Structure 1
Amino acid sequence: MAASLTAEQLEPRLGQFTVIDVRSPGEYAGGHIPGALNIPLDKLQRALPDLRAAAERGELAVVCASGARSQTACSQLAAAGIPAFTVVGGTAAWAQGGRPLDRPAGARAVWAMDRQVRLAAGSLVIAGMLVDLALPGARWVSAAIGAGLVFSALSNTCAMGTMLAKLPYNRPRGGTADLDDILGNLRK
């Protein structure tokens, strides 16, 4: 298990950390901890050399919406020999404490990924049950979604979240730097 920091512990030391936000670019654009760099969880492996260099210069703090993805990211970093802290409760805990969130100009808020997954999964389950009324056997779609959610919980991964992160509204144009620019900032 990764070392952790609460939002209260991070706030006075914010300038001492390189904060990595592993949410989708859309979620990041909706509001992030000031100074946080956006490296989505699905791009973390590509960023390892630059994160290793950043960790040699100072401490890393990893944040997501609630803490689950940052914990996964910290596990991946630890496996690569890169120490990092996960921010307990994520950006939600940061904001709940009345702390400011940065937003790029013109950015619109996007639902947190876990909320998007709940909406998509619930909609697919209901659709499967309704379609089953006309096409018997369609309820197995609902069963497959349920099995996927169980697997997601047991493995602490989320294929549906990965797919949803690729949708256009989760990858806003303008207002966010691309990964190459972010990695360049880490090298400085």
Structure 2
Amino acid sequence: MNVTIATDSPEEAAAPRRPTGLDAHAVQEWLTSPEGPRLLDVRSPAEFTTAHIPGSYNVPLDLLREHRTELRTHLGDEVVLVCRSGARAGQAESLLGATGLDNVHVLTGGVTAWEAAGGPLTRGTETWELERQVRLVAGSIVLAGVLASTVAPWAKWISAGVGAGLTGAALTNSCAMGMLLSRLPYNRRNEPDLGAVLRTLAA
């Protein structure tokens, strides 16, 4: 009695499943293939305008979080998520994964690693990266709290609150202050709306 055992096609056997995290060199090599992935940059519009990987689409994390179900239907191809360091892209991967997508990857180290690996960038109007803005605001509040505590001792708790917030951000790999800053007009210049994003992805 002959038994037929189902096996992967030659194409499937030649293209093993890629890991969730991909380094810059792996993404660069993948982009040169005919089946290269789509790049979704989840940073703020201002950060994207400052410098982004050629051919990437800007889908800010807030927009992705709110409309991940609608976006899911337009992401049938392999997708690599990009941010500055990989943290926000990791959050986006979790959000899209929760909708059932299993074709989502993260550029490990983000745009910073991409540039260090010699990857090309399209540059525009310079804007501070969100992480740098967080350092400025958090540091300023801590300094102000310490100085104010010399007059009003209770002010030290302001600095303590910022320290606790930064500790929580590190433990949860998220940043409430960063999310708040991303909503400022300074960071929302050239912000795409959902319709524009979906039309671009469909094209």
TM-score (norm 2): 0.82
* Aligned AA (1:3): T
Partner Cα separation in structure 2 for residue 110 and residue 164 of structure 1: 13
Larger CA deviation: 151-160 vs 81-90 = 151-160
SS at 2:174 equivalent: coil
Query: Do structure 1's residue 54 and structure 2's residue 94 form an aligned pair?
Result: no
**Alpha-carbon deviation of 1:164?**
0.9
> Aligned residue for 1:137?
154
SS at 1:85 equivalent: strand
Do the aligned residues in 2 keep the contact of 1:51 with 1:82 (CA within 8 Å)?
no
> Aligned residue for 2:12?
none
Cα deviation, 1:129-167, whole Å, max 9, x if unaligned, reads 001112221111001101111111122221100111112
- Give structure 1 stretches of 5+ with no counterpart: none
Q: How many residues align?
A: 181
Structure 1 residues 26-175: aligned runs within 5 Å: 26-56=46-76, 58-83=77-102, 84-103=104-123, 107-173=124-190
Partner Cα separation in structure 2 for residue 85 and residue 125 of structure 1: 36
* Aligned AA (2:146): M
SS at 1:86 equivalent: strand
Do the aligned residues in 1 keep the contact of 2:69 with 2:99 (CA within 8 Å)?
no
Query: Do structure 1's residue 25 and structure 2's residue 42 form an aligned pair?
Result: no
Could you tell me the percent identity over the aligned residues? 44
Partner Cα separation in structure 2 for residue 85 and residue 51 of structure 1: 15
Q: Displaced runs of 4+ in structure 1, greater than 3 A?
A: 176-179
Partner Cα separation in structure 2 for residue 117 and residue 170 of structure 1: 12
> Aligned residue for 1:185?
200
Cα deviation, 1:60-115, whole Å, max 9, x if unaligned, reads 10010011111111111111111200000101111112221123xxx422222122
* Aligned AA (2:122): D
Do the aligned residues in 2 keep the contact of 1:21 with 1:63 (CA within 8 Å)?
yes
- Give structure 2 stretches of 5+ with no counterpart: 1-18
Do the aligned residues in 1 keep the contact of 2:47 with 2:127 (CA within 8 Å)?
yes
Partner Cα separation in structure 2 for residue 14 and residue 51 of structure 1: 22
Which structure has the bigger radius of gyration? Answer: 2
**Alpha-carbon deviation of 1:30?**
0.6
Indicate the RMSD between aligned Cα atoms, in angstroms.
1.7
Partner Cα separation in structure 1 for residue 87 and residue 118 of structure 2: 22
Larger CA deviation: 46-55 vs 88-97 = 46-55
In terms of fraction of residues, the more helix-rich structure is 1
TM-score (norm 1): 0.88
Partner Cα separation in structure 2 for residue 95 and residue 59 of structure 1: 22
